[in-house]
Structure 1
Amino acid sequence: MSASGPAPSPDGRPGARTDTRAVPIGWRGRLSPRPGLERVRDSLGAIAQIVIAATAGFAFAHYVLGHPAPLLAATVTISSLGLVRDARPRRVLETVVGMILGILIAELIVAAAGIGWWQLGLTLTASLLVARFFSPQPAFAVAAAIQAAIVMVIPASVPFLRLIDGVIGGVAALLVTALVPRSPLRALIAGGTQVFAEFDSAVATLVQGLRRGDRGRAERGLEKARALQAPIDAWRTELESAAAIARLSPFLRRQRAEFDRQERIRGQLDLASRNLRVIGRRVVYLCDDGVARPIPAGLLAELGAGARLIADALGDISYEPAAREAVRSVAARLDPGALASGSSSVDLNLIGALRPLAVDLMTAAGTPAADARAALPRA
């Protein structure tokens, strides 16, 4: 029997028992205020854009043009901007076009047949079919249908007045995209750092498999390497969005060079991850015999350390020289001939597979591609 006695209640009275099962364990982290605050912080730029565009569009339509209830001037801006990170002007424009298309179809049907339940069904069918014809994006068709439904449900005294409101909302959204841009650099660095962390985890697991001759661990490392493509592609989308906004916005033009540097790192890490998958397959094959291979394990671990320095360089360019030298020092030792003593041809193939990985990492750290290849010993 425990001597500690029953746990005190939250108000300090002994003997009362707190039911920790009231909230499932999986939900405790979600109920913590920290993730919510982080989401709010990350969305402040998007929220500012939406509020400014929606209120400006509504105010212009209502006070300047005299529209009594310009609802669509606000809804079009909210739907086109959204809270997603991909706020490229082209994506915003495509969404705006989809919504205006839906409004136009609805206005034409209202003018010809009036408002009613079957007119609503006809409007939704027509807007969805036409939108799907013009765009492969499902969101384009959904945006068109939503705005068309609003037109059918909320009557207006003046024909095509809501179409004008929709155009005003779309113009407001595009102007805000350029004049009040979301600052994407912090999100880009965070996204890139996360990708590098997953890359490092894959490398570390493969290194452990080599050091222990553990095929199961090597297979887990290969699985992690294969899983890298999705976050790398998501990072690319964020970079494309940032670059597109910077081309349009005068406030982000100074960051163009930084976006280009980030894209260089991302592109080379993409190639490095593909080479890591090749290395992972060879490591799995090698570990089939259960023999430890400390030499290639050490070389791969050193390349992983260089990759961590490149990750640090995402937020601080001053780390790039150290990253270049760290990878270069490993590349200079990737000579299959010098390591041939006591090694099988399969082991030497693994050493050879590390060479393009080293080139990719050196290039990611800012080394010109020709210089990076020249740093390798002649095979």
Structure 2
Amino acid sequence: MKFLLAIQAGLAAALAWAAARWLTDMPSPIFAPAAAVAVITSSLGQRLANTIELLAGVTLGIFVSDLLIEVTGVGVWQTGVIVAAAILVALALSPRGGVVGNASGTAVLLGALSSSRHTLEFPRFIDAVIGGGVGLAVSLLLLPINPLRIMRRVAAPTLRELAEQLKQTASALRSRDHELANRALSRSQGIGAELGRFWDAFGSAKETVNFAPTRWPWRRAVRHYQLGAPEVDQTVWNTRVLARRVVVLIEDEEPIPEGLPNAVDELGAAVHAMQNEVLSGWGPEATRRHALRAVAEATQAEIAGTQLSGTVIVGQVRTAASDVLQATGIDRPEALRRIREVASAQSDPHHRPEG
């Protein structure tokens, strides 16, 4: 991915420079390649939005600079006033950093180089248009990323880390190891902090399959992964609550029925199976099987006798299992029905599952 980003940036800079020189006849159109590289290196999944911000910021900076220079003239303090005014106006119109940054950058340029500002305004805007367009063309038409590869590269490590954290949490429960439980909790918090990269990857994949014609055949596969992404996100947050309650349970010396660590283990196995599905394209059967086993073990633990934190853990296992089932393509009512069936079967040995 880093190698492709470098190639995209280099190609975009060269093409933007050549296009701007040909279209504007300027000997050194430095803003066009700068704008192209800014688009390429912007956040994945936000390149189209960032290009719009780039143009909006440049336009706003030019407008504010022109207006104030005519009133205040030029000089040291005038440049400071122009930049401050450009930032304030940009913030009033849009809180997005791209608009504010480009407005202030343009204001600095036109205020500081006031003697030649009338030769800079139009080329600055045209260069931004050319550079932004070339950056988009390179990233979405000439050298688009492989959307499935980038999703797998980010999603698989997230799922692997979550599965290992759940395994660690289950071990802490079995051994009543308070230190290990705290490490598992810290690990779960780290996974939550990494969710931004997870969502950036999905945003990038969506942007690519929507606008890159060569990637249109992969729309269905990308949509399949995207439909499960919110549930993976919820699983991460629910397992953090679970890990926190494990710490409290150990501190309070509550009873730990055998089914409780088994349930957390099975939940981890379900996440591990989901990771294998992402990497290899396997079906979701193993993921669903482990998720429902987690529910069965949690129900057995509840029947055996749990106190406050143990009961909360049982509930979190069921909630996370529902998230996992939905991530495999089962809708929420059906996921809840299956969970109720499994829980009822554990509570009533004579229960016969419906349908």
- Looking at structure 1, the residues matched to 66 and 7 of structure 2 have their Cα atoms a distance apart, in angstroms, of 31
Q: Quote the offset at 1:200 in angstroms.
A: 2.2
**What's 2:113 paired with?**
153
Report SS of the residue matched to 1:166: helix
Q: Quote the offset at 1:235 in angstroms.
A: 0.9
1:197 aligns with 2:160: yes
Amino acid aligned to 1:327: A
**What's 1:302 paired with?**
266
Amino acid aligned to 2:284: E
Q: Quote the offset at 1:253 in angstroms.
A: 1.9
Cα gap change, 1:300 to 1:104, in 2 (>3 Å): same
Q: Quote the offset at 1:344 in angstroms.
A: 3.7
Cα gap change, 1:59 to 1:328, in 2 (>3 Å): same
Greater relative contact order, per chain length (Cα 8 Å cut-off, separation 6+): 2
CA contact (8 A) 1:95 1:140 kept: yes
Q: Quote the offset at 1:157 in angstroms.
A: 7.2
1:50 aligns with 2:12: no
Q: Quote the offset at 1:46 in angstroms.
A: 2.7
Cα gap change, 1:344 to 1:66, in 2 (>3 Å): closer
CA contact (8 A) 2:48 2:136 kept: yes
1:140 aligns with 2:99: yes
CA contact (8 A) 2:256 2:306 kept: no
- Looking at structure 1, the residues matched to 89 and 230 of structure 2 have their Cα atoms a distance apart, in angstroms, of 37
- Looking at structure 1, the residues matched to 134 and 91 of structure 2 have their Cα atoms a distance apart, in angstroms, of 25
Which residue of 228, 238, 247 corresponds with 1:284?
247
* Structure 1 segment 259-338 matched on structure 2, within 5 A: 259-287=222-250, 288-289=252-253, 293-336=257-300
Greater share of helix residues, 1 or 2?
2
Which residue of 35, 43, 51 corresponds with 1:76?
35
| TM-score, length-scaled by structure 2 | 0.81
- Looking at structure 1, the residues matched to 225 and 211 of structure 2 have their Cα atoms a distance apart, in angstroms, of 19
Mind listing any 5+ residue stretches in structure 1 that lack a counterpart? 1-41
1:164 aligns with 2:133: no
Return the index of the structure with the highest Cα Rg. 1
CA contact (8 A) 2:20 2:130 kept: yes
**What's 2:334 paired with?**
371
| Aligned CA-pair RMSD | 3.0
Cα gap change, 1:70 to 1:207, in 2 (>3 Å): same
CA contact (8 A) 1:43 1:83 kept: no
Identity across matched positions, percent: 23
Q: Quote the offset at 1:212 in angstroms.
A: 1.1
CA contact (8 A) 1:94 1:140 kept: yes
Choose 357-366 or 42-51, whichever is displaced more: 42-51
**What's 1:20 paired with?**
none
Cα gap change, 1:199 to 1:88, in 2 (>3 Å): same
CA contact (8 A) 2:147 2:209 kept: no
CA contact (8 A) 2:276 2:282 kept: no
